[in-house]
Amino acid sequence: MGEAFTLAVSAVLLAGFYSAMAYGLGLIYGVLRIVNLAHGGIIMAAAYLAWQLFDRFAIDPFLAIPIALVVFFAVGVAIYLGLVRFIPRGPAGGVQSLLLLFGVWLVIRNAAYLLFSGNEQVIHTTYATSSVSLLGGSFSVTRVAVFVVALVTLLALHLLLSRTFLGRSIRAVAQNPESATLVGIDVHRVYVISFGLGTALAGLAGVLASTLFAFTPSFGASELLKSFVIIVLGGLGSVVGIALGALVLAAAEVFAVYVVPPYLTAAVGFVLLVVVLVLRPGGLFGQRVLR
């Protein structure tokens, strides 16, 4: 019972990081119907930004989150205005957007190699190995903090999308851009903001990742894949679904150790992906519309 409780808490904490990792990918797909393959590169770049801020200016990674959000919002807007907006919307632009954003990822990765080499980088905060006790179990302070940030992000996104004009505009464009235009919504502006917001969320995930893991310029590939699994599990385009999808993936990976050898637990998510795509292509929670 004690072991199961510890694993359950670990799964919930891991789900916090996973959901933060997937929000950006889900938002951009939900609004623009584009799979942002540069997502992994942005996560990696944000981890390096956090490391530089910590190393040069002693700014704690959690305090660096606002900086990362602003920087990567601007990066996202620049990528959209400079590249993505020239791609046709809809199925015609599908392959083009994949190739274009994959290219952006390669550029970001190679730029990181040039700037920082292939050395592993880590951030060691004073609380990196500290723990908090909860009902007899000990849990990493950093993982708890990451979970709290992910939860706040979920609430903020939910409020943004449900309680603000911008959020309602984003949802309207996600549902039907032509109709949104007819009611006076500036669809182009919504696209720009959504891409910027999605990129900023990827930046947030990168900062959080930098507090948990060592990273190199090749960091981000498995994060992209898992993010993709999560948004499919949660229902493409649903923010709450993304959080639930992250919880399902994290629980599957953590508890799979009871069923399969630990080295196979990383594959459990991909098996889930195939099963869900076959049986419930709309996601476990069946939501195709951003909300």
**Residues 88, 99, 113, 156: which binds other proteins (CB under 8 A)?**
113
Contacts of 260 (CB under 8 A, 6+ apart): 268
Please, which residues bridge with residue 215 across strands? 121
When asked if residue 263 is in the footprint of other proteins (CB under 8 A), the reply is yes
**Residues 96, 131, 175, 181: which binds other proteins (CB under 8 A)?**
131
3-state SS track over 209-227? HHHHCCECCCCCHHHHHHH
* 138: enclosing H helix or E strand: strand 137-140
Distance CA 42, CA 243 (A): 20
Tally helices (H) and strands (E) across the chain.
11, 2
Tell the burial category of 21 from Cβ atoms under 10 Å away from its Cβ (0-12, 13-18, 19+): buried
When asked if residue 260 is in the footprint of other proteins (CB under 8 A), the reply is no
Question: 227: left (phi > 0), else alpha (psi -120 to 50), else beta?
Answer: alpha
**Residues 7, 59, 74, 77: which binds other proteins (CB under 8 A)?**
7
* Both tokens assigned to 194: 């959504």
When asked if residue 162 is in the footprint of other proteins (CB under 8 A), the reply is no
When asked if residue 139 is in the footprint of other proteins (CB under 8 A), the reply is yes
When asked if residue 285 is in the footprint of other proteins (CB under 8 A), the reply is no
Count of positions on this chain that bind other proteins (CB under 8 A):
45
Contacts of 69 (CB under 8 A, 6+ apart): 200, 203, 204
Q: Which of residues 187-216 bind other proteins (CB under 8 A)?
A: 212-216
**Residues 91, 136, 184, 261: which binds other proteins (CB under 8 A)?**
261
When asked if residue 222 is in the footprint of other proteins (CB under 8 A), the reply is yes
* Both tokens assigned to 7: 């694993």
When asked if residue 14 is in the footprint of other proteins (CB under 8 A), the reply is yes
When asked if residue 56 is in the footprint of other proteins (CB under 8 A), the reply is no
When asked if residue 52 is in the footprint of other proteins (CB under 8 A), the reply is no
**Residues 255, 280, 285, 288: which binds other proteins (CB under 8 A)?**
255
**Residues 83, 98, 122, 160: which binds other proteins (CB under 8 A)?**
122
**Residues 86, 129, 259, 277: which binds other proteins (CB under 8 A)?**
129
Tell the burial category of 114 from Cβ atoms under 10 Å away from its Cβ (0-12, 13-18, 19+): exposed
3-state secondary structure of 198: helix
**Residues 1, 58, 90, 118: which binds other proteins (CB under 8 A)?**
118
When asked if residue 148 is in the footprint of other proteins (CB under 8 A), the reply is no
Distance CA 273, CA 270 (A): 5
**Residues 19, 36, 142, 238: which binds other proteins (CB under 8 A)?**
142
**Residues 130, 164, 176, 179: which binds other proteins (CB under 8 A)?**
130
Distance CA 246, CA 3 (A): 21
- Give me the least distance between CB of 222 and other proteins, in Å please: 6
When asked if residue 229 is in the footprint of other proteins (CB under 8 A), the reply is no
Contact residues toward other proteins (CB under 8 A) are 3, 6-7, 10, 14, 17, 113, 117-120, 122-124, 128-131, 138-143, 212-218, 222, 250, 253-257, 261-267
